[in-house]
Amino acid sequence: MEIPELKKIFLDTFGDDGKELRAFEAPGRVNLIGEHIDYCGGCVLPMALGMKTTLIARRRRDNVLRLKATDLDVTVETDIEKIEELCGKLFWGEYQLGTALELIKDGYDLCGCDLLYHDTVPHGSGLSSSAATEVSTALALSKLSGKETDMIKLARISQMAEKNFVGVECGIMDQFASAMGKRGHAIFLDCKTLSYEYIPLDIDGYKIVITNTNVKHALGSSEYNERRRECREGLSGFMRAMSDISELSEVSPEAFEENKGLIKNLTTQKRVRHIVYECERVKLAAGALKSRDLALFGELMNKSHESLRDDYEVSCPELDFIVKEGQKLNGVLGVRMTGGGFGGCAVALVGGDAADNYIDRISRGYREKFSRDATFYITEAEDGAHEVFI
């Protein structure tokens, strides 16, 4: 749906009071490698997608926020001073109101606004529809309130909204990628320091193919927060021998092998093993991308999925099928689950002339095995959140 059509829907929904409409966009993201390590201070390698949240916004004369989505009948309305009263009570709108609340906590003097949302990021897919919603909201509210826009700061505020208002103890990667994406580039991001580097996605005719299992995850009610707890437990164990560390990302593979006996719970030990070796894989993958060693990059993707399946246990039968079958096909360098897991998407690095065969073979096999269809997206890296001047 293009901006002119969204403007018409906005005016049909909220009326025309003669005030200027403004438009904002924030993308979803796919993480090429580095899963479940952002909240342990690790480095990750995401890219922003063309799938996005588009937001049409207009400043109001009062202190009211009104929210509407193009695909839902519900309209959410609240006084800015009463946002916190709605925590945990909404069918839809918590990501937006949580972001508004965190902006207020950070000192933003918000104005009343009418906000219309249109999403093309599939919900529950692991492609960060929530981050796209949060970041687009943060950008729109800050701009309409006349505040200077610091996109990294807005990414942090968006992360806090998901943690404090929605209840998911997420890391910073999703919101950072949505805020700071760059067309044609992946982001090599240190989630502890927020230092980052744009790496050109010069992939020599290969394509990034995302396969959506259409098994929806709900991270707020899944085992996501349990993994966070297990990581904290593992960090406490290692700090008995390595008092100078503050994050699991600081534990090298060698140090892990030497001190893993400090973690008596074998399940927790497996979780930590994934974190430690996944951090190492991301660093190697960034180097492989810079040197255009795509075979190595694909091999690291495959190892990442194996670790997520066996050590971190966040995969599912549908994801494992896509990865296993994809890895058998000519022209496929690597396949792995991406996102929080328990459903959602897999991402593959596929030769351009092999992409159609990959989609056909996976599609037919998936339908036969699971009696449902997978959805496929051939995607490129796009820009992060921005205002669209209309």
Instruction: List active site positions.
Output: 174
199, 286 contact by CB (below 8 A): yes
Q: How far apart are CA 378 and CA 209, in angstroms?
A: 5
Q: How far apart are CA 22 and CA 140, in angstroms?
A: 8
Q: How far apart are CA 379 and CA 240, in angstroms?
A: 45
Q: How far apart are CA 192 and CA 172, in angstroms?
A: 9
Please name every residue paired with 27 in a beta bridge, in sequence order, or none if there are none: 52
The residue type found at 117 is: Y
Q: Where are the alpha helices (DSSP H) in the chain?
A: 3-14, 94-105, 129-144, 151-161, 173-180, 224-239, 253-259, 266-290, 294-310, 317-327, 355-370
Q: How far apart are CA 390 and CA 376, in angstroms?
A: 31
Helix (H), strand (E) at residue 171: none
382, 27 contact by CB (below 8 A): yes
312, 360 contact by CB (below 8 A): no
List of residues 6+ apart from 330 with CB closer than 8 A: 351, 354, 357
Q: How far apart are CA 169 and CA 39, in angstroms?
A: 8
Reference 120, options 237, 228, 48, 27; nearest CA is: 27
Residue for token pair 């933003």: 108
Q: Are strands 113-119 and 64-69 parallel, antiparallel or unpaired?
A: parallel
Phi/psi of residue 118, each to 5°? -130, 120
Own/partner pairs for 324-332, CB < 8 Å, 24+ apart? Answer: 325/361, 325/362, 325/365, 326/211, 326/358, 326/362, 327/302, 329/354, 329/357, 329/358, 329/361, 330/354, 330/357, 331/357, 331/358, 332/298, 332/358
